[in-house]
Amino acid sequence: MFNQSKINTMQNKIENLLKSILPSDTEIIVSENRKYFSDGKELKIAFWPISNPINNVRGQYPQIVSLALDLDDMKLRTQIYGCNGGQCIYRIPEKGSYLAMQRIKIPFRKPKPEEKFVLKAIENFAKRWLQAIKDNKDDLMWQNYVNYDEFLNS
């Protein structure tokens, strides 16, 4: 079980790790949350390109991905917070194609529940997300809200 100082230390480690990997125009959130279905705490880890707000609706962020780190057992998983985040980014669907082709799933493998493996998994997930944006930047949704070329060069 984590005490508050260990939680803060873990938050800082994750935030610094993500800042060192991702472009400067990336919004990063690492916040403490209460678990929904049991007592305990988890860390919400989410990041996305800074953009103009979509329809001025708070909480809607283009190409957001997110993870949750259970602080009781150090298990890391992908997580959706209020219909945002998870493990996918979205591209413009081609007419006549399957809607399943609209998403690009970011590879994620659950690590061993130890700090060094968890940090490495977060690093790998962030790098894969960035690579997916690079590889698909011309086909991604929300082109009018995010300039993906500027984002990748920031």
Domains of the chain, residue spans = 4-152
- Pick the residue with more confidence: 75 or 40? 75
Look at 1 and 73; give whichever has higher pLDDT.
Answer: 73
Average pLDDT over residues 105-131: 96
Stretch 117-136: mean pLDDT, rounded? Answer: 97
Estimate to the nearest angstrom the gap between the alpha carbon of 53 and the chain centroid.
18
Contacts 24+ apart (CB under 8 A), 15-18: 17/119, 17/122, 17/123, 17/126, 18/45, 18/47, 18/122, 18/126
pLDDT class of 1 with cuts at 50, 70, 90: low
Other CB atoms within a 10 A radius of the CB of residue 56 amount to 7
Q: Pick left, alpha or beta for residue 148 (phi over 0 → left; psi -120 to 50 → alpha; otherwise beta).
A: alpha
Q: Is residue 56 over pLDDT 60?
A: no
End-to-end CA distance of the chain: 38
Q: What is the mean pLDDT of the chain?
A: 87
Percentage of the chain beyond pLDDT 70 is 88
